[in-house]
Structure 1
Amino acid sequence: MLLHRLVKQAEQDPAAKPFHRMLRFDWELRLNPDGTLAGDGLESLLAPDAAGKLRGAEHFVPAVTRTVGVAPNLAADDVQYVLGWADPDSKPARVAQCHDAFVALTRQWAQSPAGQNDPIAQALDRFYRSGEAARVRRDPEATAKQRVLITVGPTAAYRAESVSEFWTAEVTRRKGGGNHGLCLVCGKTRPLLDTLPGKVPARLVPGASNDAALVSVNERVFGYDLTSQLTCSPICIPCGEGVSAGLVRVLDSANTTSYNGQDSRLAWWTTEPTKRNPMKLILDADPGQVTALIFSIHNGKTAPEIKDTNKFCALTVGGNVARVVVRDWLEMPLSTVEKNVGEWFADLDIATLHPDETARQPLQRLVRVTGRWQRTERRYAFIGAKGSAHPHAAQRDLLNAALRKTTLPPSLLIHLLNRVRTDGRLDTPRAALLRLMLLRSHLTTETPMPGLDESNTNPAYVAGRVFAALDALQYDAFDGKINTTYANRYLAGAITNPRAALLAGSKLADAWLRKFRGARKGAAVNHSRELTTLYGLFDAADGIPHRTTPAQQALFLLGYHHQRAHRFAVLRDRAAARATTTETSTPELSAPEAPATEPVTAEFDQEINA
């Protein structure tokens, strides 16, 4: 079905020529209409791009898959093919073979029925027959594998009218093994290919160091039942070209996502036109659109423009040197995908630490917070940067969970827990990821709420709440003037062994409570009452947990986050209420303002994303 969908994608581009692809050229060889040189050497096509880097000119030229054999392209190719120039990194004998093959192909083109009346084909043939090629002045900066664009007069040679007909016949001769059979894509009996004719540019395939082929079995040992080529995957010539062209089309479209350092690139499309785009929601997480989607799902209302026949397709690929690795293929009704995306955001919902934060996170932020937190710069390391510590498959795993409503791999939970311990940072996006993992884990039956759940008596969750309460007590006792906080000192150890941290905290709490003097004694009473209530939630038999499992560690951190978010929300509400009272009261009737029992602080760290 994947190959069928790729062929359908290729059919949507009527301007595409068969067996052509976009290549970048560094040099131009200019010829006169009579086949003589228009200059004395190659002319550079390099020009600065938007970033100031020199790049060649791109052209949509005749080209097919080329692996280890000598296989010239028509009318435009590498320096070694067009001019026979070698460099220190190439083998002169092979370069000579490449040049001879290109000259022979040009002669066949000029002598073919399609090329006999084509002035451009005749000009190229005369260029090589007359020995003009030997007169081209060699440029010392031209290497054997840089590409040369040939022009005849004002026209690029590959644009000649006879190119398409001759090139199609030539590729059919090369790639077709002379066998006829049933094509697994179109279901028709046609001439079959030995290999797929096109490649995908390396820039579109993360992990590929060269332009990559989708299917390539060069040796029997790599093939099913010790067969080579496409014996076990019979594909006809038109479908083979469609598969290659369709794959490039979807991977080079605007509907793709890929981050540096990740092992995959995802492309998506729908089989029928639609204005709704569930992937855009995943990537942008627009609050209004997400809320509307969740509301429509809960009320069972499907948008009228979503038809049952409209399928959502998503292809995830990676690369290995010169091979395309299909990591995932999804074809599902668009309505089902929207439902899964709605549940994805519902599972990501979390209480925020800062009022300006969003409760539901976009994909890039979720991927980014799996990496290293840089304390001095107060931001997460860029995805793909050296030492960023992002898992290579984080993007792929998160997208798979969002689109298919599946669990996340346990390795991602372990990695995130280790990062929180190492970085000493638990913010809203990381807490959202932890809640998502717990909700979809097979290892736990917990269904944590987005915000504080005072009815949850799970020891790990309660331990996290107690830890946050102790941290808040210390902060208020010293009015925030602390060099090393309780959380700085004990959080890393408390994640794996809460008992040691909470027992130490209970001993320190008495000294912290004695710091409150005068009007601040009310705050001490509040803190003491809260700690007594929280410690009382622990089971008398089991007590405070220790040696926690990964699921318990995640629950501990969720309790810690929920307690902090609740505290900050209460402080904001009290500050807003005092401000309102001050504005509406009159001096004659107002009483002296009582001191706040818990001052509004800047204790939280606002999420910073560069």
Structure 2
Amino acid sequence: MLVKRLVDHAASDPTAKPFHRSRQFHWQLRITPGQVPSLETLVRPDAKGRPRGADHVVPAAVRTVGVAPNLAADDVQYVLGWADETSKPERVAQCHAAFVELVERWAASPEGQHDPIARELAGCYRSGLLKHVPQPDGWTSKQGVLITVDEVPAYQAESVVPFWTAEVTRRKGGGVTGLCLVCGKTGPLLDTVPGKVPSRLVPGATNDAALISVNERVFGYDLTTQLGCSPICVSCGEAVSAGLVRVLDSPHTASYGGQDSRLAWWFTGPVDSDPMELVFTADPDDVNALLRSVHSGKTVEVDTTPFCSLTVGGNVARVMVRGWLEMPLGTLKKNIAAWFADHEVSTLHPEENPRQSHEKLVRVTGRWLRAERRYAFIGAKGADRPDRIQRDLLQAAIRGRPLPTSVLPHLLHRVRTDGRLDTARAALIRLALVRSPLTTEKPMPELDRDNRDAAYLAGRIFATLEAIQYDVSDGKLNTTYGDRYFAGAITNPRAALVNGRKDANAWLRKLRRTKKGASINHEKQLDELFGLLTADNPIPSRTSITQQSMFLLGYHHQRADRFAAIRANKTKSDPSEENPE
């Protein structure tokens, strides 16, 4: 089904030319009748000031270790026969001879014999004028050369498409006729897929990559090589590559540096809105509109347009399909609405969004750089971010699945090590808890005063103790109660709270001298929280992963509730100062 969807997607672009792909060219070979050709640079600074060649969509087919020229535009070694210091002169001579032979066959073919560009290019090679082209500085044998004839790019000649299609069919076809697995028609079958995917579109690929390849019998079904176990006709084989490049190079993709995959998605028909965009923007108004739409109960029934998503990674020159999904648009909307509902959490600051974007959730799984007050960049060395977290979070959003069991322990480790729990990290913790089969009582997005879970209460108490000390010192402390005990309290709340309760007595006595009302409120709240703990529901001394998560969620909820109350009462306190970030 994946291959069929890629073929259909390629067919939806009527302007696409068969067996063509985008390529960057460093040089332009200008051919003018009767004159010595000139070689000029096409390299210009890009938007960031970096040198970059010109991109053109030209005839191209998969090239392995053999000599295989492309038509009308190719490498320096093919077009000009120049060998640099790293190339073998004998091989370069073979490449150039093959290119010249291809041009001659093009000009002599039924398609090219009446084409002035094909005839002029062939005549130029016969005349020997190319031998007089001066070599500019900085060229290499594998840089691209764009050929123009009378200022017209040679690849735009009318005869290029029919001749090149026949040429690729001759090269890639195995001389076997059979039933195509994709279109269900009988016709010439391919030995190998004629197109490749640029390495920039496939994380992990070091070279341009092919989707289907069986080089050795041991890898193929029934010991068959190449496409023997996946019969594909010529036109469908071209469309598979074209469709794959089109979806991976579209705006509807997600890929971050240092991660192992790239996700692309598309719809097989027209749609009014794209819910996948919300996963990356988390726009509050649009998310609320989606939630209302889903809660109306009509979305799943009405939106039946198929949604397709493809996740790929690379290994040298191979494309690995890491995930493939097709579902009705209504189901996708339902899953994404659940995604936002499951990780919604109360915020510490009024400008924060209670629902997080995908990129932010990926980012907070990495290391917090305290000195720079930011998370390590995605893909940065030493960021300590799971390689597949981008893919795991996307699959959870799209498919409605729980997070992998490895995500929560990693996040808890980072919170303990960094000493930082912000809104986004709390949201990810709540998402993991809500979707975990081990969680009997699903946590609320905001402070749950009726929650009697001992770990949750311990987190609330820890936040209350932290607030008491803050009020006593007016925030003027080098080392706080939280600094001393936070990391240890996550795994052993009892020790931290016992010490904190002793210290609180001194803090409250001091606070009564200056802020008697605040002291009374703090003491009352502290007594109420400790009173909810009983012999049957004591403060945990050794916590499980779930208990650590509940502790942190209770801690975050208590802080967020206090900051909201301060803002509501319009006190002089600054919430940004009360957040130890």
Short-chain TM bin: over 0.9
Counterpart of 2:135 in structure 1 is: 138
* Kept in 2: contact 1:413–1:434 (CA 8 A): yes
Counterpart of 2:391 in structure 1 is: 396
Identical residues among aligned pairs (%): 64
Residues 536, 207 of structure 1: alpha-carbon distance in 2 compared, 3 angstrom cutoff: same
Counterpart of 1:383 in structure 2 is: 378
Which of 437, 443, 452 is the equivalent residue of 1:448? 443
Which of 143, 147, 150 is the equivalent residue of 2:144? 147
Counterpart of 1:605 in structure 2 is: 579
Which of 324, 341, 346 is the equivalent residue of 1:346? 341
Which of 31, 41, 45 is the equivalent residue of 1:44? 41
Query: Helix, strand or coil: the match of 2:21?
Result: strand
Which of 325, 329, 333 is the equivalent residue of 2:328? 333
Query: Helix, strand or coil: the match of 1:410?
Result: coil
Counterpart of 1:183 in structure 2 is: 180
Counterpart of 1:590 in structure 2 is: none
Residues 48, 524 of structure 1: alpha-carbon distance in 2 compared, 3 angstrom cutoff: same
2:557 is aligned with 1:562 = yes
Residues 601, 134 of structure 1: alpha-carbon distance in 2 compared, 3 angstrom cutoff: closer
Counterpart of 1:258 in structure 2 is: 255
2:434 is aligned with 1:433 = no
* Kept in 2: contact 1:347–1:436 (CA 8 A): yes
Query: Helix, strand or coil: the match of 2:263?
Result: strand
Which aligned runs of 4 or more in structure 1 are off by greater than 3 angstroms? 599-607
* Kept in 1: contact 2:299–2:333 (CA 8 A): no
Report the count of equivalent residues: 581
Query: Helix, strand or coil: the match of 2:226?
Result: coil
Structure 1 residue 601, shift from structure 2 partner: 5.3
* Kept in 2: contact 1:251–1:267 (CA 8 A): yes
What amino acid is the match of 1:37?
Answer: V
Residues 604, 364 of structure 1: alpha-carbon distance in 2 compared, 3 angstrom cutoff: farther
What amino acid is the match of 2:315?
Answer: N
2:66 is aligned with 1:92 = no
Which of 501, 508, 517 is the equivalent residue of 1:522? 517
Counterpart of 2:29 in structure 1 is: 29
* Kept in 2: contact 1:478–1:515 (CA 8 A): no
Tell me whether 513-522 or 315-324 shows the greater mean CA deviation: 513-522
How many Å separate the matches in 2 of 1:388 and 1:422? 13
How many Å separate the matches in 2 of 1:89 and 1:217? 30
How many Å separate the matches in 1 of 2:315 and 2:486? 41
How many Å separate the matches in 2 of 1:193 and 1:216? 12
Tell me whether 519-528 or 352-361 shows the greater mean CA deviation: 519-528
2:157 is aligned with 1:160 = yes
Structure 1 residue 408, shift from structure 2 partner: 0.7
* Kept in 1: contact 2:252–2:266 (CA 8 A): yes
Structure 1 residue 606, shift from structure 2 partner: 9.2
What amino acid is the match of 2:27?
Answer: W
How many Å separate the matches in 2 of 1:183 and 1:281? 39
Counterpart of 1:581 in structure 2 is: none
Alignment of 1:170-249 (within 5 A): 170-249=167-246
2:573 is aligned with 1:574 = no
Alignment of 1:539-554 (within 5 A): 539-541=534-536, 543-554=538-549
* Kept in 1: contact 2:475–2:578 (CA 8 A): no
Query: Helix, strand or coil: the match of 2:90?
Result: helix
Structure 1 residue 93, shift from structure 2 partner: 2.1
Alignment of 1:267-286 (within 5 A): 267-286=264-283
Counterpart of 1:16 in structure 2 is: 16
How many Å separate the matches in 1 of 2:100 and 2:29? 15
How many Å separate the matches in 1 of 2:298 and 2:179? 44
Residues 515, 22 of structure 1: alpha-carbon distance in 2 compared, 3 angstrom cutoff: same
Tell me whether 337-346 or 540-549 shows the greater mean CA deviation: 540-549
Which of 58, 74, 98 is the equivalent residue of 2:55? 58
Structure 1 residue 307, shift from structure 2 partner: 3.8
Counterpart of 1:501 in structure 2 is: 496
* Kept in 2: contact 1:575–1:600 (CA 8 A): no
How many Å separate the matches in 2 of 1:142 and 1:573? 68
RMSD: 1.8
Structure 2 residues not aligned, in runs of 5+: none
Alignment of 1:291-306 (within 5 A): 291-302=288-299, 306=302
How many Å separate the matches in 2 of 1:600 and 1:380? 24
Query: Helix, strand or coil: the match of 2:147?
Result: strand
Query: Helix, strand or coil: the match of 1:454?
Result: coil
* Kept in 2: contact 1:208–1:320 (CA 8 A): yes
Query: Helix, strand or coil: the match of 1:129?
Result: helix
Which of 270, 286, 290 is the equivalent residue of 1:289? 286
